[in-house]
Structure 1
Amino acid sequence: MTTRLVQITMQAQDDAALGRFWAEALGWGVESEGPGITNLEPVGFDYPDPAAVCLDIVARPEPKQVKNRVHVDLATTSTTHQTELVERLRGLGATLADVGQGDVPWTVMADPEGNEFCVLEPRETYRDTGPVAAIVVDCADPRGMARFWGQATDWTVHQVTDDQAALRSAKGVGPYLEFIRTPDAKTVWNRVHLDVRPYPGDDPATEEARLRALGAGDPGIDQSAISWRVLTDTEGNEFCLLSPH
């Protein structure tokens, strides 16, 4: 048994408005499964497919308090494309952001609700990922996170060092999942988190038990009113185990 990384979920005070921003930013389509939930995926996409990790934006009243521990990096094909993309995103409502990055070749930005993301300079590694080059998670121990997520999902570990680690779908498509060593400790509930699904026919309870055996924890919240399970990874980052699909 294993799971698939199928989407990231982002909390927003205005899910519809933020959904419109990200749809324009990525060139994706927008749908809604109900009030307060905006779903984004590539046009013509057959969910779930590792060619893309989709985006769900969920309305929550709490404002953003600290730098997100999970963010996306956007891919570009040339320095001209990078410059044009940054300007287009600013026209959509994004702003330049300073998270202490210093003089780097990529551009750090924030979406209209302050969620950080990066527009990368062209890199050969991301030439075939689609608009999202990577989903990046701040952590204290990239090796440990790669070990947990490599066993939790069917993604392949591509690189592991003390400072960073990278995973990608075993099919060699879609974005990377990267873990970057940072000194900042987790202090609040993550506004952006990962969602995984078991494969059709797998038993969710059995899969939950497997994830817990790998080191997944309990966030300590009442989950009686939801049909999925909220767990935490080995560094306390919340993630959702959805029903098989």
Structure 2
Amino acid sequence: MATRLVQINMKAHDDSALGRFWAEVLGWGIDSEEPGVTNLEPVGFSYPDPVAVCIDIVARPEPKKVKNRVHLDLATTSTAHQAELVARLQGLGATLADVGQGDVPWTVMADPEGNEFCVLEPRPIHQDTGPIAAVVVDCADPRAMARFWGEATDWTVHEVTDDHARMRSAQGVGPYLEFVRNPDTKTVWNRVHLDVRPYPGDDITAEEARLLALGATDPGVDRSAIHWTVLADPEGNEFCLLSPR
């Protein structure tokens, strides 16, 4: 049994407006499964498929209080493309952001609701990822996070150091999942989190038990009105275990 990363979930005051922004950024299609939820995926995409990690934007009234622990890195093909993309994003409503990054070759930005993301300088490793180079998670211990997520999913761990870990779909397509050491402690519910899904035919109850045995925890969310399972990884980052598909 195993899960795979299928999407990220992002909270927003206005899911429709933020959905339009990210659809323009990524060149993706936009849909809505119900009021208050905006779904983004590549045009012609057959969900789920490891060639892309989709985005669900969900309306929530709570204000953003701290830097997100999960963010997107966008890929570029040249320094000129990086500059052009930054300018285009600013035209769409993004702003430059300072999270203490100092003098780095990538550009840190925030979307219209303040969610941080990075426009990376061109890197050969990202030449085939699509517009999203990586989903990045801040953490205290990249090695421990790689161990957990490497067993929780069927993704392959490509690199592990004390400061950084990198994973990708076992099929070698789509964006990377990266864990980056950050001294900041988690203080609030994550406004951006991972959603994972078992394969067709797997038993979700058994998969939940397996994840708990690996080190996930139950944050005690009321499940009476939802049809998925909310868990937290060993560092307390919430994630959703969706039904097999």
Equivalence for 2:84:
84
2: CA distance, partners of 1:79 / 1:228: 42
What amino acid does structure 2 have at the position aligned with 1:61? P
| Residues 107-186 of structure 1: pairs in structure 2 closer than 5 A | 107-186=107-186
Gaps of 5+ in 1: none
What SS does the aligned partner of 2:103 have? coil
Q: Which amino acid aligns with 2:45?
A: F
Q: Deviations over 1:9-65 (max 9, x none)?
A: 000000000000000000000000010000000000000000000000000001100
Provide the aligned C-alpha RMSD in A. 0.4
Q: Which runs of 5+ in 2 are unaligned?
A: none
Deviation at 1:222, TM superposition (A): 1.2
Partner in structure 1 of residue 75 of structure 2: 75
TM-score by length of 1: 1.00
Poorly superposed stretches of 4+, deviation over 3 Å: none
Deviations 1:114-168 (A, max 9, x none): 0000000000010000000000000000000000000000100000000000000
Q: Distance in 2 between matches of 1:35 and 1:225?
A: 16
Matched residue type, 1:166: R
Distance 2:239 2:96 in 1: 28
Residues 185-236 of structure 1, C-alpha deviation per residue, up to 9 Å, x if partnerless? 0000000000000000000000000000000001122112111000000100
CA shift, 1:174, in A, is 0.2
Equivalent residue pairs, number:
245
Find the counterpart in structure 2 of residue 8 from structure 1: 8
- Measure the CA separation in 1 of the matches of 2:67 and 2:159: 25
**Percent of pairs identical after alignment?**
81
- Counterparts of 1:200-211 in structure 2, within 5 Å, are 200-211=200-211
TM-score (norm 2): 1.00
Taking the aligned partners of 2:231 and 2:177, their CA distance within structure 1 comes to: 18
